[in-house]
Amino acid sequence: MSEPTENGIGELRFAKTLLEYPSVAARLADLIGAPVEKGFRMLPSGWQEAVGQASNAALLKGLELAIRTTTAKGGPDSKDWFHKLMVTASGAAGGAIGLPALLVELPISTCLILRSVAEIARGEGHDLALLGTRLSCLEVLALGGKKEGDNAGEFGYWAIRSALGQAVSDAAAFLAKRGLVEKGAPPVVRLITAIASRFSVVVSEEVAAKAIPVVGSAGGALVNYLFIDHFQKMAKGHFIVKRLEKAHGPETVRAAYYGIEI
């Protein structure tokens, strides 16, 4: 296939800027004026189990949403601001209650984020009637951004996609035949587990930030705003890359991506 045009390289550079920098933890630290690690020390015992349970429940709800989404390409433009408003409101409500609200609030905010991600995908020309596109929306939740000191070969955008590739492919084949009638089926469990291993890291950072005293309930809303803003940026970059892959081939786009300095 042909090499990307100058305009395509410009789009790819923009996508790489979104996908590789910065991590949620770094942006949260800038927002609250304190390292997220401080919040980790303030969380009660058992919080990691609560985050794990909430993350898995949220992803399962998100998968249900993805499977039932049938709106094809060509719909209305993405309303990023509306989804930000809704997730921010849920963060304010959850922040007033604290960690116990996570099991209720996270599935709601995750489904709102996925709805926004789906609209972004459609805005980049992808057909939401295709199961592969819908699972690519779920894949976005595994994209946490690059942390200082990360090895791009292990933690970068392409490495994450490669790590998820087989789980996404197996789940897509299973769901195409059976639908989501067996939530405990091995292909579905492997997909949720693979995404949760990354998504729960971002959720943990969000929870830790909310635990810092200076944040409070109003700050909880801001943390949620940043949470969805992060995934909207990941979605934009991800679906730009996938659109360019359709036109120029995955290997060509990947090579061009690695050749771009930002």
Q: Domain containing 26: what range? A: 6-259
pLDDT at 46: 78
**Three-point CA angle 187, 191, 193, nearest 5°:** 115
User: How many other CB atoms are found less than 10 A from the CB of residue 5?
Assistant: 12
How far apart are the C-alpha atoms of 14 and 19, rounded to whole Å? Answer: 9
Token match 């992803």: residue?
A: 59
Query: Would residue 1 count as lying in a domain?
Result: no
pLDDT at 140: 94
* Residue 143 DSSP label: -
Query: Would residue 141 count as lying in a domain?
Result: yes
How far apart are the C-alpha atoms of 193 and 132, rounded to whole Å? Answer: 18
User: Omega of the bond prior to 250 within 30 degrees of 0, cis?
Assistant: no
pLDDT at 96: 46
pLDDT at 98: 54
How far apart are the C-alpha atoms of 204 and 252, rounded to whole Å? Answer: 36
pLDDT at 120: 92
How far apart are the C-alpha atoms of 155 and 141, rounded to whole Å? Answer: 14
Using alpha carbons only, how large is the chain's radius of gyration in Å? Answer: 18
Q: 231, 249, 261, 254: which is closest to 19 by C-alpha?
A: 231
pLDDT at 82: 62
How far apart are the C-alpha atoms of 3 and 32, rounded to whole Å? Answer: 43
Domains identified in the chain, total number:
1
Half-sphere exposure of 28 (CA within 13 A, CB side): 32
How far apart are the C-alpha atoms of 232 and 84, rounded to whole Å? Answer: 9
Query: Would residue 115 count as lying in a domain?
Result: yes
pLDDT at 218: 60
User: How many other CB atoms are found less than 10 A from the CB of residue 145?
Assistant: 23
Per-residue pLDDT of the chain (262 residues; tens, 9 = 90+): 688 899 999 999 999 999 987 667 777 777 666 677 777 777 777 778 888 888 998 899 888 887 776 555 555 555 665 656 565 655 555 554 455 666 777 888 888 888 889 889 999 999 988 989 999 999 999 987 555 545 554 568 999 999 999 999 999 999 988 887 777 889 999 999 999 989 988 888 877 777 776 555 566 677 778 888 889 999 999 999 999 999 999 999 999 999 998 7
Query: Would residue 15 count as lying in a domain?
Result: yes
pLDDT at 45: 79
